[in-house]
Every structure is written in structure tokens, then in C-alpha cells.
Amino acid sequence: MRPYTREKRFKTRSVAGTLAIAETIAEMLAAPRVVVLRGELGAGKTTLVKGWVAALGAGAEEEVTSPTFTLVHEYASPRVKMYHLDLYRLETERELATLGFEELAAEPATLLLVEWGDKFPSVLERADAEIWMTALQAEERSLEVRWR
Ligand SMILES: Nc1ncnc2c1ncn2[C@@H]1O[C@H](COP(=O)(O)OP(=O)(O)O)[C@@H](O)[C@H]1O
Ligand SMILES: [Mg+2]
């Protein structure tokens, strides 16, 4: 697996803080990229995507909901297309292929934000960045971004 060469850490104490960090990360990691969002349920991965989509003008925060059952949600601005994936319910590489992961990842000017992408070696292999989110206590969260 290709190593990550860059790393940045953040800490936040509120949802608003996470949304603000999403803006910074959105600038740091420009499309085209595949970003794996790692962390337990409730860590704040979907919340981060809300801020990210809003930061790029691809949608409003409240439009962004978890794609747990739908698997893929799409957002777009004139400049960038965003796919928000949640692979929690997927079990096999075959299901991933049926979902069209490779095709989505190959689209130009596209950002793929993939929750639970770390379940699949093929997604980790394809990733350009990883963001680890950890719930520390109450509303406190840490974020570790690694990219190349
Ligand atoms: N600092 C924070 N950042 C993100 N979410 C937070 C924070 N503090 C509390 N929360 C709450 O934690 C939950 C995170 O949920 P969600 O973003 O769906 O997580 P995940 O997608 O990782 O399962 C939400 O209910 C949110 O309101
Ligand atoms: Mg989620």
C-alpha cells in the first residue's frame, strides 16, 4: 500500500467545531480524491461530510443525511461532484463492484467520501486520504488526516 506522506491533527469540542474543521479539510484535500472516513459509529463522520458538502457549495448541511441504507448520495456544485458512501452494510467486494465503486472513483473532478471504506482492501488501496475520527468525551472529537 502506498504510504501517506502528510498528516494533520485537529481537535474539536462541538458539532459547530467539526463543521468548521470540515471547511479547512475541504480546502486541504481538493478533488479528485478518494477519502476514507474511519471511526466508530457516532464518531462524527457524517457530520464532517455535512460541513464538507456545504463548504464546497454542493449542498446545504441539512440535505446531507447518512447513506447507510441508500449506500450512495450525490451532491454537486458547478466545480465539483461529491459522492458520500457508507459501506457499513456491504459485506463483499462483489457488492462493492455492483455499487460501481471503481466507476465513481474514476470520474473526473470528483470527491468520494467513504464511510467504512476501511472494511475493503480495494478501497484502502484506492484511497488518497484517510481521516480518523475519535469520540473522546461528550462532544469532544479528535481528527487525524493523512494524505499524499
Ligand atoms: N464534536 C462533534 N462532532 C461531530 N458530531 C458530534 C460532536 N459532538 C457531538 N456529536 C454528535 O455525535 C453524533 C455523530 O453522528 P454522525 O456524524 O452520524 O457519526 P458517524 O457518521 O461517525 O456514525 C451526532 O449525533 C452529533 O450530533
Ligand atoms: Mg455516518
From the CA of 79, how far away is ligand 1's center (Å)? 28
Q: Counting atoms of ligand 1 from 1, which one is nearest the CA of 18?
A: 3
Evaluate: CB of 43 within 6 angstroms of ligand 1: yes
| Domains with residue ranges and CATH for the chain | 7-147 (3.40.50.300)
pTM of the model: 0.97
pLDDT in tens, 112-129: 999 999 999 999 999 999
Evaluate: CB of 66 within 6 angstroms of ligand 1: yes
Consecutive 10-residue averages of pLDDT for the chain (148 residues) = 92 98 97 96 98 98 95 96 97 96 96 97 96 97 97
Going by alpha carbons, the residue nearest to atom 17 of ligand 1 is 44
- How far apart CA 43 and CA 134 sit, in angstroms, is 6
Q: What angle do CA 116, 111, 5 make, to 5 degrees?
A: 75
Evaluate: CB of 15 within 6 angstroms of ligand 1: yes
- The 3 state secondary structure assigned to the chain is CCCCCEEEEEEECCHHHHHHHHHHHHHHCCCCEEEEEECCCCCCHHHHHHHHHHHCCCCCHHHCCCCCCCCEEEEECCCCEEEEEECCCCCCHHHHHHHCHHHHHHCCCEEEEEECHHHCHHHHHHCCEEEEEEECCCCCEEEEEEEC
- How far apart CA 85 and CA 74 sit, in angstroms, is 9
From the CA of 108, how far away is ligand 1's center (Å)? 30
